[in-house]
Amino acid sequence: MQYSVLDLSPVPEGHDAAEAIANTVDLARHAEAQGYRRFWMAEHHNMPGIASAATSVLIGHVAGATERIRVGAGGIMLPNHSPLMVAEAFGTLATIHGDRIDLGLGRAPGTDMATARALRRGGGNGEEFPNDVVELMNYLGAPRDGARVRALPGEGTHVPVWILGSSLYGAELAAMLGLPYAFASHFAPQALEQARELYRARFQPGALDQPRFMLAINVFAAESDARGAYLRSSMQQAFARLRLGQPGKLPRPVDDVTQILPAQAVEMADEALRITAVGGPQTVRDRLEALIAEHRPDEVILTGQIHDHEARKESFERAADILRDLGAERAAA
pLDDT tens-digit map of 55-100: 999 999 999 999 999 999 999 999 999 999 999 999 999 999 999 9
Question: In which element (H, E) is residue 92 found?
Answer: helix 83-97
From residue 41, give the alpha-carbon distance in Å to each of 25, 109, 274, 288, 326: 11, 15, 21, 22, 26
Question: What pLDDT is recorded for position 93?
Answer: 98
- List the Cα angle 119/124/129 in 5-degree steps: 110
Mind listing the pLDDT tens digit for each residue in 169-208? 999 999 999 999 999 999 999 999 999 999 999 999 999 9
Pairing assessment for the beta strands 213-221 and 276-279 based on DSSP bridges? parallel
Between these two residues, 257 and 112, which has the higher pLDDT value? 257
Residue 126, pLDDT above cutoff 80: no
d(CA 112, CA 201): 34
Between these two residues, 34 and 127, which has the higher pLDDT value? 34
Question: What pLDDT is recorded for position 118?
Answer: 81
55 and 41 in contact (C-beta within 8 Å)? yes
Question: What pLDDT is recorded for position 199?
Answer: 98
Question: In which element (H, E) is residue 193 found?
Answer: helix 192-202
**What average pLDDT does the structure give for the chain?**
94
Question: What pLDDT is recorded for position 117?
Answer: 80
Question: What pLDDT is recorded for position 95?
Answer: 98
Mind listing the pLDDT tens digit for each residue in 207-234? 999 999 999 999 999 999 999 999 999 9
24 and 7 in contact (C-beta within 8 Å)? yes
Give every CB contact of residue 332 below 8 A, 6+ residues apart in sequence.
none
Provide the pLDDT confidence category of residue 122 given band limits of 50, 70 and 90. Answer: low
Report the b/e string of 65-92 with b at 16+ CB within 10 A. Answer: ebeebbbbbbbbbbbbbebeebbbbbbb
For residue 251, give the DSSP letter. Answer: P
Residue 295, pLDDT above cutoff 70: yes
For residue 12, give the DSSP letter. Answer: B
Mind listing the pLDDT tens digit for each residue in 12-25? 999 999 999 999 99
Radius of gyration for the chain, computed over Cα atoms and rounded to the nearest angstrom = 19
User: Quick one: what percent of the chain has pLDDT higher than 90?
Assistant: 88
Before 75, cis peptide (omega within 30)? yes
Residue 136, pLDDT above cutoff 80: yes
